[in-house]
């Protein structure tokens, strides 16, 4: 196969790739935008180690599922929930208006427990006292069979009380089959719950016993409904409750009741999750950031093209064409594999424009050397590519290496930067070397491409003494 | 092509740039880098206001709400707004909400134009550790790669050039009180990968010129290599600086942060290749017996018999350089009065000069 055929083949291949890439790349609105560009909530939750809720791999997998469930019920479009590392879960919710509420729902452990208030025992005025009674100094150190319950007893001035509970709850949230919002007789929002068989039996047994005690002693018997260690409500039990239903009434707004029903439906998180990093970005700010990045990118690209053409003339034109081809291929590739573009990944992309022409600068400088040494343009072209390749390759390899290291080390959006930088530099090596060479070799038959002056290959100023071959064009 | 004898001044370059680097590193420790919330934990808020406000006004609003030591910067936000970045190590959710409410009542917050980022303490410690580990691994990887492709004696000077680049970048951060963020670390790692480019270009030419210049001293060979590659190294850096400048002008706060560090790193990376990496490589390579011999031979050839080869060889290379300075093997008669020749002590030389300039013969230059 002749060289012309080979180069033409390469260009045909590039044209096909370009078509495919353009299909994926355009319109630009197809691109997946990260939260920093469209607004939304991004949270990283980390499982906390505690004796009560030991961290486990299964627990994490389950937690991801539960959170997915909750997010789906919230109705967020295109959420992203991923396990990150061993004990972290990363959650990305685009277009959330109320990040605080979303966070409260997603991260809520939602452990629901029913206690007979008699189980509570002594009331302490601070949490620390309750913990001290158990012989520990932090909630994490509490043994699995003990728990601290907080109760804001309303009545006159509200008072906070803490209790150390050493007996297991009579019914738990794991015995629920459903939860919905409803309204009580005063039209206040409430949450209705249904129990499974086990729950129904336990519930009816406990309420039966409590109703009996109430009748005998004449004292109020109260059943405390505890969510995540806080008493939500503590209704009086007057009679045995059969049928496996219960309700939580209290001081909710409709919204709060809905959210509570939602977390109860999806079940309790098996691990205790805490937000270690979160960011909520307003949609307007995101849009502004995107525009700024696009303008910066376009201006940067334009400046590079002007520089290349001013300095290398026709060669600069070829390099610019290769650069644009690179841009389209790159966008197509990113969209094709479904990379989400964030601000840092756009920064990475803009940088690769500059790095892509590096290869061309090195190659063209080599070609100048060769022309200066008396070679014809054609010979200089092939020698220039051949000799510059080693340096181009080594340069790009160091950048790819650091991009890989950065990708490994970074988290979140910076990873996007490393990804676009690494892929971009690798891809740009292909366009800047192979595509430019094929174009130049096919164009070499055309007269302007044999003129070293037009090509920008002449050495400025008459510094060069022509060597033996005098008759070059 | 005019050739400048950089390596005559290698000690000057090394001494002055070491001093600069040392000064930068000292300032990092004395002035202290302003580590952002990515490394210490805290809250970063961006707010775009419809009405104009000054940094001081915003800062006092934030202070009034009980936030300790807030850092307030004016940034480029959505058009038609004055936007601010508020950073504080301690800011509760309530305080954050109160700040937005307060700013809204005073300067009217643009709809959907607030963002809040909270980083927890443990998370930030992890980020810091990972940043250090990543930089260490990158340095080792670059040493490994350069040792593999070139030699160990090139890899270490390249790393010293990188220390200069990164040291100076961070020094400028410290001196100008800029907040170091996760983006800065990403930029530093990119500098590690990128500023070694120019060093590679010079080293590549040295690698190529070595077999072509069998008689010249190592320093002469390096001088030629630098002269041959300097313009293209500057051009590659310009090609990267152009988009960076575009980002510095048009980009938002996050992008500017990237671009600022990278701009410094790209500029320092260019000259440090010539003035740190190359001179160090010369110093090291000239300890090798064969280059030592050439050095002494050059000294002898120059008519100076002296133990101090260093002093001696400095008088010689210019004369030899003349032979290849024009990149033409045969100098035409009478053409020798170039600017470089002026420095030459016109002693006759016994040593044969290599007649093969670099880049002349493609068959020999390619490996």
pLDDT in tens, A208-248: 888 888 888 888 888 888 888 888 888 888 788 887 888 87
**pTM for this one?**
0.77
Q: Has residue A353 been placed in a domain?
A: yes
- Give the chain A residue whose CA is nearest to the CA of B125: A276
CB spacing of A398 vs B235 below 8 angstroms: no
Q: Which residues of A touch B332 (CB under 8 A)?
A: 465
User: Which pLDDT belongs to residue A229?
Assistant: 82
Same structural domain for residues A241 and A131? yes
Is the pLDDT reported for residue A91 higher than 70?
yes
Highest mean predicted confidence (pLDDT) among A75-79, A322-326, B111-115, B319-323: A322-326
- pLDDT confidence tier of residue B367, bands split at 50, 70 and 90: very low
Cβ proximity of A174 and A158 under 8 Å = no
User: Once rounded to an integer, what is the mean pLDDT over residues B75-94?
Assistant: 84
Same structural domain for residues A187 and A157? yes
Q: Residue A464 to residues A338, A449, B2, B328: CA-CA distances in angstroms? A: 52, 21, 10, 8
Q: Which two tokens stand for residue B202?
A: 């010079």
User: Once rounded to an integer, what is the mean pLDDT over residues A305-331?
Assistant: 93
CATH of the domain at A136: 3.30.1360.200
Instruction: Give the count of domains, chain A.
Output: 2
**Distance between B186 CA and the closest CA of chain A, angstroms:** 7
CATH of the domain at A321: 1.20.1640.10
Same structural domain for residues A410 and A426? yes
Q: Which residues of A touch B186 (CB under 8 A)?
A: 344, 406, 410, 414, 417-418
For A389, the domain range is 3-36+282-455
Q: Which residues of A touch B117 (CB under 8 A)?
A: 277-280
Distance CA B328, CA A369 (A): 11
Q: Has residue A434 been placed in a domain?
A: yes
Q: What is the DSSP letter of A89?
A: E
- pLDDT confidence tier of residue B301, bands split at 50, 70 and 90: low
CB spacing of A401 vs B142 below 8 angstroms: yes
- Give the chain A residue whose CA is nearest to the CA of B131: A409
Q: Has residue A471 been placed in a domain?
A: no
- Give the chain B residue whose CA is nearest to the CA of A97: B112
**Distance between A22 CA and the closest CA of chain B, angstroms:** 23
**Distance between B255 CA and the closest CA of chain A, angstroms:** 6
Same structural domain for residues A11 and A51? no
Is the pLDDT reported for residue A454 higher than 80?
no
Q: What angle do CA B243, B249, B251 make, to 5 degrees?
A: 80
- Residue of A29 and B96 predicted with greater confidence: B96
Highest mean predicted confidence (pLDDT) among A95-104, A404-413, B14-23: B14-23
Chain A contact for B133 (CB, 8 A cutoff): yes
CB spacing of A350 vs B246 below 8 angstroms: yes
**Domain stops at, among A232, A247, A280:** A280
**Contacts with A, B 266-325, CB within 8 Å:** none
Q: Has residue A413 been placed in a domain?
A: yes
Same structural domain for residues A196 and A66? yes
Distance CA A124, CA A130 (A): 6
Helix axes B182-194, B121-149, angle to 10 degrees: 0
DSSP A129-187: HHHHHTT-SSGGGS-TT-EEEEEEE-SSS-EEEEEEE-S--SEEGGGEEEEEEEE-TTS
Backbone angles phi, psi at B312, to 5 degrees: -70, -45
- Give the chain A residue whose CA is nearest to the CA of B184: A414
Q: Has residue A469 been placed in a domain?
A: no
User: Which pLDDT belongs to residue A155?
Assistant: 58
3-state secondary structure of A71: helix
**Domain stops at, among A236, A262, A280:** A280
Q: Has residue A465 been placed in a domain?
A: no
- Give the chain A residue whose CA is nearest to the CA of B249: A296
User: Once rounded to an integer, what is the mean pLDDT over residues B329-341?
Assistant: 39
Closest C-alpha among B224, B209, B207, B215 to residue B158: B207
Same structural domain for residues A237 and A92? yes
pLDDT tens string A172-199: 878 888 888 888 888 888 888 888 888 8
**β-pair type (A88-94, A80-84):** antiparallel
Facing residue for A344 by CB, picked from B111, B186, B362? B186
Cβ proximity of B113 and B78 under 8 Å = yes
**Contacts with A, B 318-357, CB within 8 Å:** 326-332, 335
Is the pLDDT reported for residue B305 higher than 50?
no
Distance CA B338, CA B216 (A): 20
- pLDDT confidence tier of residue A249, bands split at 50, 70 and 90: confident
Is the pLDDT reported for residue A71 higher than 60?
yes
**Distance between A380 CA and the closest CA of chain B, angstroms:** 10
CB spacing of B122 vs A398 below 8 angstroms: no
pLDDT tens string B205-220: 998 998 988 888 888 8
Is the pLDDT reported for residue B323 higher than 60?
no
Cβ proximity of B83 and B54 under 8 Å = no
**Distance between A35 CA and the closest CA of chain B, angstroms:** 11
Task: Report how many Cβ contacts below 8 Å link chain A to chain B.
Answer: 260
User: Which pLDDT belongs to residue B259?
Assistant: 92
Give the H/E segment covering residue A315. Answer: helix A283-336
Same structural domain for residues A313 and A445? yes
Q: Which two tokens stand for residue B68?
A: 């300790």
pLDDT tens string A364-384: 999 988 888 888 888 888 899
Distance CA B141, CA B151 (A): 14
User: Which pLDDT belongs to residue A157?
Assistant: 58
Q: Identify the residue among A288, A386, A412 best suited for mutation to test binding to B, counting B beta carbons within 10 A and taking the highest.
A: A288
Average of per-residue pLDDT values in chain A: 84
Q: What is the DSSP letter of B332?
A: P
Chain A contact for B32 (CB, 8 A cutoff): no
Same structural domain for residues A25 and A80? no
User: Which pLDDT belongs to residue B309?
Assistant: 42
- Residue of B241 and A470 predicted with greater confidence: B241
- pLDDT confidence tier of residue A277, bands split at 50, 70 and 90: confident
Percent of chain B exceeding pLDDT 90 equals 31
**Domain stops at, among A280, A299, A327:** A280
Cβ proximity of A219 and A236 under 8 Å = no
Is the pLDDT reported for residue B231 higher than 60?
yes
User: Once rounded to an integer, what is the mean pLDDT over residues B32-46?
Assistant: 85
Closest C-alpha among A433, A429, A427 to residue A333: A427
CB spacing of B111 vs A284 below 8 angstroms: yes
CB spacing of A307 vs B79 below 8 angstroms: no
Closest C-alpha among A146, A173, A411 to residue A270: A173
- pLDDT confidence tier of residue A301, bands split at 50, 70 and 90: very high
User: Which pLDDT belongs to residue A422?
Assistant: 94
- Residue of B277 and B293 predicted with greater confidence: B277
**Distance between A439 CA and the closest CA of chain B, angstroms:** 21
Q: Which residues of A touch B182 (CB under 8 A)?
A: 410, 412, 414
Same structural domain for residues A249 and A396? no
Q: Which two tokens stand for residue A414?
A: 């910076």
CB spacing of A394 vs B241 below 8 angstroms: no
Question: For tokens 């909530």, what's the residue?
Answer: A41
Task: Please give the domain boundaries of chain B with CATH numbers for all domains.
Answer: 7-36+123-220+228-285 (1.20.1640.10), 42-119 (3.30.70.2040), 289-365 (no CATH)
Q: Which residues of B touch A307 (CB under 8 A)?
A: 238-239, 242
**Distance between B312 CA and the closest CA of chain A, angstroms:** 30
Q: Identify the residue among A354, A382, A460 best suited for mutation to test binding to B, counting B beta carbons within 10 A and taking the highest.
A: A354
Facing residue for A405 by CB, picked from B141, B251, B332? B141
Q: Has residue A222 been placed in a domain?
A: yes
- Residue of B80 and B202 predicted with greater confidence: B202
CB spacing of B327 vs A280 below 8 angstroms: no
Is the pLDDT reported for residue A65 higher than 60?
yes
Q: Residue B261 to residues A234, A295, B33, B83, B217: CA-CA distances in angstroms? A: 59, 20, 14, 22, 38
User: Once rounded to an integer, what is the mean pLDDT over residues A31-35?
Assistant: 84
Same structural domain for residues A427 and A299? yes
User: Which pLDDT belongs to residue B340?
Assistant: 39
Chain A contact for B243 (CB, 8 A cutoff): yes
CB spacing of B243 vs A296 below 8 angstroms: yes
Same structural domain for residues A352 and A411? yes
Is the pLDDT reported for residue B137 higher than 90?
yes
- Give the chain A residue whose CA is nearest to the CA of B263: A351
Q: Has residue A466 been placed in a domain?
A: no
Q: Which residues of B touch A409 (CB under 8 A)?
A: 130-131, 133-134, 137, 189
Same structural domain for residues A266 and A296? no
**Distance between B128 CA and the closest CA of chain A, angstroms:** 10
Q: Which residues of B touch A35 (CB under 8 A)?
A: none
Over the Cα atoms of chain B, what is R_g? 27
Q: Which residues of B touch A283 (CB under 8 A)?
A: 112
Average of per-residue pLDDT values in chain B: 80
CB spacing of B250 vs A283 below 8 angstroms: no
User: Which pLDDT belongs to residue A156?
Assistant: 53
Distance CA B296, CA B312 (A): 8
Facing residue for A288 by CB, picked from B130, B138, B252? B252
Is the pLDDT reported for residue B282 higher than 60?
yes
């Amino acid at each position: 196969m002749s060289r012309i055929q080979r180069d033409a083949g390469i260009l045909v291949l590039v044209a096909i790739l370009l078509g495919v890439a353009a299909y994926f790349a355009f319109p630009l609105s197809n691109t997946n935008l990260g939260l920093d560009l469209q607004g939304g909530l991004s949270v990283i939750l980390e499982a906390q180690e505690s004796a009560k809720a030991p961290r486990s791999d299964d627990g994490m997998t389950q937690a991801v599922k539960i959170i997915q469930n909750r997010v789906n019920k919230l109705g967020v479009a295109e959420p992203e929930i991923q396990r990150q590392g061993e004990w972290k879960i990363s959650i990305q919710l685009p277009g959330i208006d109320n990040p605080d509420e979303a966070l409260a729902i997603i991260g809520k452990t939602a452990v629901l427990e029913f206690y007979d208030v008699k189980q509570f025992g002594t009331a302490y005025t601070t949490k620390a006292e309750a913990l001290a009674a158990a012989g520990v100094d932090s909630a994490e150190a509490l043994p699995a069979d003990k728990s601290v319950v907080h109760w804001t007893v309303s009545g006159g001035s509200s008072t906070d009380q803490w209790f150390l509970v050493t007996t297991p709850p009579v019914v738990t949230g794991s015995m629920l089959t459903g939860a919905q919002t409803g309204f009580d007789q005063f039209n206040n929002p409430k949450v209705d719950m249904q129990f499974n068989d086990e729950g129904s039996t336990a519930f009816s047994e406990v309420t039966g016993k409590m109703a009996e005690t109430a009748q005998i002693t004449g004292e109020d018997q109260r059943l405390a409904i505890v969510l995540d260690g806080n008493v939500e409500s503590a209704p009086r039990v007057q009679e045995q409750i059969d049928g496996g239903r219960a309700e939580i009434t209290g001081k909710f707004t409709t919204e709060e009741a809905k959210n509570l029903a939602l977390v109860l439906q999806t079940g309790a998180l098996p691990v205790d999750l805490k937000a270690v990093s979160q960011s909520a970005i307003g949609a307007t700010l995101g849009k502004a950031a995107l525009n700024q990045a696009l303008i910066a990118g376009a201006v940067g690209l334009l400046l590079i093209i002007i520089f290349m053409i001013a300095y290398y003339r026709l060669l600069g034109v070829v390099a610019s064409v290769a650069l644009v081809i690179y841009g389209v291929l790159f966008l197509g590739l990113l969209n094709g594999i479904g990379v989400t573009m964030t601000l840092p990944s756009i920064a990475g992309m803009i940088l690769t424009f500059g790095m892509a022409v590096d290869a061309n600068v090195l190659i063209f400088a080599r070609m100048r050397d060769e022309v200066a040494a008396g070679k014809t343009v054609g010979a200089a072209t092939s020698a220039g590519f051949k000799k510059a390749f080693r340096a181009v390759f080594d340069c790009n390899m160091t950048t790819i290496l650091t991009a890989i290291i950065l990708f490994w080390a970074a988290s979140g959006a910076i990873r996007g930067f490393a990804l676009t930088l690494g892929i971009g530099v690798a891809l740009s090596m292909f366009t800047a070397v192979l595509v430019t060479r094929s174009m130049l070799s096919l164009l070499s038959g055309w007269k302007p491409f044999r003129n070293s002056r037009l090509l920008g290959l002449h050495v400025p100023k008459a510094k060069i003494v022509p060597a033996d071959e005098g008759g070059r064009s | 092509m005019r050739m400048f004898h950089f390596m005559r001044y290698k000690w000057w370059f090394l001494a002055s740039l070491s001093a600069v680097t040392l000064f930068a590193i000292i300032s990092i420790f004395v002035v202290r880098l302003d580590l952002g919330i990515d490394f210490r934990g805290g809250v970063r808020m961006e707010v775009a206001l419809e009405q104009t406000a000054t940094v001081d006004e915003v800062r006092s609003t934030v202070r009034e709400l009980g936030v300790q030591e807030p850092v307030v910067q004016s940034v480029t936000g959505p058009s038609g707004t004055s936007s601010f970045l508020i950073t504080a190590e301690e800011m509760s959710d309530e305080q954050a909400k109160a700040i937005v409410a307060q700013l809204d009542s005073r300067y009217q917050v643009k709809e959907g134009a607030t963002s809040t980022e909270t980083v927890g303490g443990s998370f930030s410690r992890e980020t810091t550790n990972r940043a250090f580990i990543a930089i260490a691994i990158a340095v080792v990887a670059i040493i490994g790669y350069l040792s593999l492709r070139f030699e160990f004696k090139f890899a270490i000077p390249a790393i010293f050039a990188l220390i200069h680049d990164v040291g100076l970048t961070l020094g400028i951060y410290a001196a100008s009180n800029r907040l170091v963020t996760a983006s800065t670390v990403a930029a530093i790692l990119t500098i590690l990968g990128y500023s070694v480019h120019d060093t590679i270009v010079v080293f590549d030419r040295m690698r190529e010129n070595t077999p072509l210049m069998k008689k010249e001293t190592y320093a002469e060979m390096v001088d030629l290599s630098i002269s041959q590659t300097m313009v293209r190294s500057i051009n590659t850096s310009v090609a990267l600086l152009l988009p960076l400048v575009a980002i510095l002008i048009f980009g938002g706060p996050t992008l500017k942060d990237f671009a600022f560090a990278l701009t410094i790193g790209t500029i320092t990376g260019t000259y440090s290749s010539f003035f740190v990496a190359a001179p160090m490589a010369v110093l090291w390579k000239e300890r090798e017996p064969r280059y030592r011999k050439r050095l002494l031979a050059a000294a002898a050839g120059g008519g100076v018999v002296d133990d101090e080869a260093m002093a001696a060889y400095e008088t010689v290379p210019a004369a030899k350089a003349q032979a290849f300075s024009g990149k033409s093997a045969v100098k035409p008669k009478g053409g020798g009065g170039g600017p470089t020749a002026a420095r030459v002590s016109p002693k006759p030389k016994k040593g044969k000069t290599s007649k093969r300039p670099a880049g002349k013969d493609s068959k020999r230059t390619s490996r």
